[in-house]
Structure 1
Amino acid sequence: MTPPLFFLRHGETDWNAEGRLQGQKDIDLNALGRQQAAQAGRKLKKILSSRGLDPAALCWQASPLARTRETMFLARKELGLPAEGVVFDARLREFTFGRWEGKTWPEVCAEDPEGAAARDADKWRFRPPGGESYADLTERLRPWLDAQHEPSVVVSHGGVARALMHLIGGLCVERAPTADIFQGRVLVFSAGRFDWI
């Protein structure tokens, strides 16, 4: 059984606001994203307190991309923790959209209509040109998940959250790629289920 994981998606970036596929491009938070990261930190503080968990005693892990790093630091600040003490793990990076990164979905549809249609038909298994699928991401995450033995705070990406919803919560592969993923909230994985708080 996986120990409790307190998951924060990074805050908003300008590319999120513009509807651009970020993947593994290193895009910084915008002003709203920084507010969302702090808000998530405040929610996390209440959740941990309600469960009698000492934030300083938890394992803190994040994707190494700039938007997740800054989200992590801002959330930790809300809990009175220093920037130091975080493990950055490349396995927690978002899946890459390959040559589609930086484009909006309408641009992808115009430039690669066959690829866009194939992705719509099977979002879990479709691999963009030069990119990864949700299935690929899940296989990348599986060893990381198997190594979790203590409660952790994890700051990562929307695709990673969806993959964990499947791996931990059993969300089916048809539903997982379209599951709602929020910024500024905390996704709690515990006892084989997940809940947004």
Structure 2
Amino acid sequence: MASRRSAGPAGPTFTERARRQQIVECAIDLISTRGYPATSLAAIAEEAGISKAAVLYHFTSKDKLDRATLDHVLEQFFAYVTERVERERDPVEAVVAYVRAMIGYQQANRRHVRVITEMLLDDGGGTRLKTPGSHDTHDRWQRLARMLAAGQEAGRLREFDTRTTALAIGGAIDNVISYWLVHPDVDLDAAADELVAFTVNAIERRG
């Protein structure tokens, strides 16, 4: 049976969209502070100042709210990275932009990082994945591997296995961010510089 909010041909109203966004933001706040397992529908409803039934009116289940929350965070993250990568025409500079954007977004959006590291432990089917960050999920390494392959085709990058290198670069980024979450005094700007040097040395064609 279709939910009441989607029964009309025009879809959700402005008010309903605003309420859904409020609920998602409350979920982000709670997951980032309490952790994913402790963030219940009741807790989200209390944070939003509405009833649990009102939350279910907009999302119908906890699973759908979880998915909407994770999708919202990932969409913002990937849009930020994509925008900065697409500004660059040179393949090496595009990969450098990728590394800096990955670090820069997470530095500026610590709440979202917490949501990602908490919720990417879950693959959407109730099974927890093996590592926080999980650079091998949600097409992350594949996107980077395609960038690396394009750079090889353009003759700017040396020959290497793009999958292995994409996983190595992504894993380095994830490990730096994981360490920073525990040790917030780490200089992420300096870390980004080191990661850029590491990446360029690993991929750039010499001579």
TM-score (norm 1): 0.29
Between the two structures, name the one with larger relative contact order (CA 8 Å, sep ≥ 6).
1
TM-score (norm 2): 0.28
Structure with more of its chain in helix, by fraction? 2
Structure with more of its chain in strand, by fraction? 1
